[in-house]
Amino acid sequence: MESKKIKIGIIICQRYQLCAGGKCFRALRERAGAFKHYSKDQDTEIAAYTNCGGCPGGNVEYSPEEMIKNGVQVIHLATGLIVGYPPCPRLEYFKRFIEERYQIPVIIGTHPIPEKYYLIHQRLGPWDSPKWTKILEPVLDSLEIREAYN
């Protein structure tokens, strides 16, 4: 029995609008970061890629609809929203809004957190709360993997 292809949409932070998506595409291929929950045998495709539209995230209101029209079945909020300076304060709201409005699963994170970002955020302390422990879990891979994504 052939499994159905999973079509993924990614929303990145507008601060990184020129990002080519290399770490996200690589992480999907390697099943690293937040993509590790997809089986290596599962056929997957990044079918849509856009930015949030800038603070306060106006594109988050409309882009999921276009993604869904093009077959997207799950949306990932990119790791850049987690590791930005500062991390996006609307991340959890974006997830709740998209899931409620569009009835589509939303996963926070894409590629593993690069070690250089992990270290600076550990020193600066923006992740020092229980809510961030849960947010970081899918993208906080081993030291070896974090260093490989520097």
pLDDT, one tens digit per residue, over 47-94 is 999 999 999 999 999 999 999 999 999 999 999 999 998 999 999 999
* Percent of the chain residues topping a pLDDT of 90: 90
Residue 1 lies inside a defined structural domain of this protein:
no
Q: How far apart are CA 112 and CA 147, in angstroms?
A: 9
User: In 3D, which of 144, 84, 90, 92 has the Cα closest to residue 120?
Assistant: 84
105 located within any domain: yes
CATH number, residue 132? 3.40.50
The tally of domains found in the chain comes to 1
109 domain-assigned: yes
CB 32 within 8 A of CB 109: no
SS3 7: strand
> Which pair of structure tokens corresponds to residue 4?
């159905």
| Amino acid residing at 43 | D
Domain range spanning residue 51?
A: 6-148
Which two three-digit tokens encode residue 88? 């996006």
What values do phi and psi take at 85, rounded to 5?
Answer: -115, 95
Q: Model-level pTM?
A: 0.94
Any domain includes 90:
yes
Answer whether residue 111 is part of any domain. Answer: yes
